[in-house]
Amino acid sequence: MDAENAKRQFLEYIEIERGRAVKTIENYDQYLTRYFTQMKIKKTSDISEQNIREFRLWLNRQPGTGSGSMKRRTQNYYMIALRAFLKFLRKREIESISPEKIELAKLPERELDLITPAELERLMDSADGTDEKDLRDKAILELLFSTGLRVSELCSLDSDIDLSQDSFSIRGKGDKVRVVFLSPTAKAAVAAYLKARKDMGEALFVNTRSDNSIPSRLTSRSVERIMKKYAMKAGIAKKMTPHILRHVFATDLLNNGADIRSVQQLLGHASINTTQIYTHITDAHLREVHKKFHGKGRD
C-alpha cells in the first residue's frame, strides 16, 4: 500500500476514533514524514527492521537543542509514532513488519523539579495584594496547587465555574474528562477574584484592563510569567513553572498516603507509567518514615 496514503488514514484514525489531540497528530505526522523521507519509504512494505535501525542511528547523530546530539527521549517519540503506525497497519491487515519489533531506548530516571514545603508557603503568601490583578494571581496559584491542573487546562477554564461545589470537570489531554477538587483556600481565592472582576468576559483568567473592553483570556505563557514573578518575590532561586506546582500536588498526595492509581486519575495520566515518576520522590519519604519509626522497641 502507498505509504503516504496509509499515513493519512492513520492520522485520521487517531484523530476521529482515538480522540488524540491536534498537537499529537501534528507531531506524529512530522515524525513519520521524517522517517519516510530519510529512508525513502514509498510503500508500507518498504518498512523494515534494517531501515528502522538505520533511521535510529541517523537520529542519534542529529544535533539536539544544546551542544550534544538529539536526546534519547526525543528519539523515542519517533519510535512511538512509528510503532503506533505499525499497529494501525496490522489492525487493517496491511502488509508490514510487526510493531513489537520496535523497542524504545532505555532512559535515565527522570528528575523532578520540586520546591520545599517552606518555599511553597512563601510562594502562596507572596500573592498578597488586594486589587483585581493581585487577586487573579492569588487564585491562579491556589487553583494550580489545589487541582494539579496543567497550565493549558487552567487557561481553558471559564468564569461560570460553580463554587458551590467542591469539584468540577475538566477536559484534558486526548479529550478525556476528569474531576478535580477545590480546597477551601482555592475556592475562597477564586471567589475573591471573581467578586473583584469588572468585566463580563467568558474566560476565568483574563488580562486585566483599565478600559471597558472585553479582556483576553490568559495564555500559558502569561501564567508562566506570573509564576516567575511570584517566585522571585518569594525568594525562590530555582526556575519556577506552573508544572512544578503540578509535581508538588502529586508528591504531596503520595507523601500523605494517597495511592498511585488515585493520583493517576487526579492528574489525568493515560498510563500509570507516567505517574510512577513520582514514586522515586516518595520512596525517599518512606525511607525516612522507616528510619524514624521502625524497630524502636528493640533499641
Give 189-198 pLDDT, tens digit per residue.
Answer: 999 999 998 8
- Supply the pLDDT for residue 66: 59
* Measured distance CA(243)–CA(124) in Å, rounded: 15
Poorest-pLDDT segment among 8-17, 46-55, 67-76, 157-166:
67-76
Write down the residue that cell numbers 481553558 correspond to: 156
This prediction's pTM? 0.65
Closest Cα partner for 237 from 113, 101, 152, 136?
113
Q: What is the pLDDT of residues 68-99, one digit of tens each?
A: 778 888 888 998 999 999 999 998 888 888 88
Length of the chain measured in residues: 299
Q: What is the pLDDT of residue 114?
A: 75
pLDDT at residue 123, as a whole number: 92
- 298 vs 45, residue with greater confidence: 45
Give Cα 218 distance to the centre of its chain. Answer: 18
69-78, 173-182, 283-292: least confidently modelled range: 283-292
pLDDT reported for residue 247: 87
Q: Using CA atoms, how far apart are residues 279 and 250, in angstroms rounded to an integer?
A: 10
- CATH fold for domain 3-101: DNA polymerase; domain 1 (1.10.150)
Q: Within the chain, what is the greatest distance between any pair of CA atoms?
A: 73
Spatial separation of the C-alpha atoms in residues 8 and 94, rounded to whole Å: 14
Fold classification of 117-290 is: hpI Integrase; Chain A (1.10.443)
Give catalytic residues, as residue numbers. 150, 173, 243, 246, 269, 278
Q: What local confidence, expressed as pLDDT, does residue 108 receive?
A: 60
Check whether 48 has a pLDDT greater than 70: yes
Write down the H helix ranges in the chain.
3-16, 22-38, 49-60, 72-91, 117-126, 132-147, 151-156, 184-196, 220-233, 242-255, 260-267, 272-275, 279-293
Give residue 295's pLDDT: 58
Residue 272: per-residue pLDDT = 78
Joined together, the cell numbers standing for residue 261 give: 492509581
Would you list the domain boundaries of the chain? Answer: 3-101, 117-290
Cell of 79: 519510535
Backbone angles phi, psi at 248, to 5 degrees: -65, -40
Q: How many CA atoms lie within 13 A of 108 on its CB side?
A: 3
Q: What is the mean pLDDT of residues 256-280?
A: 80
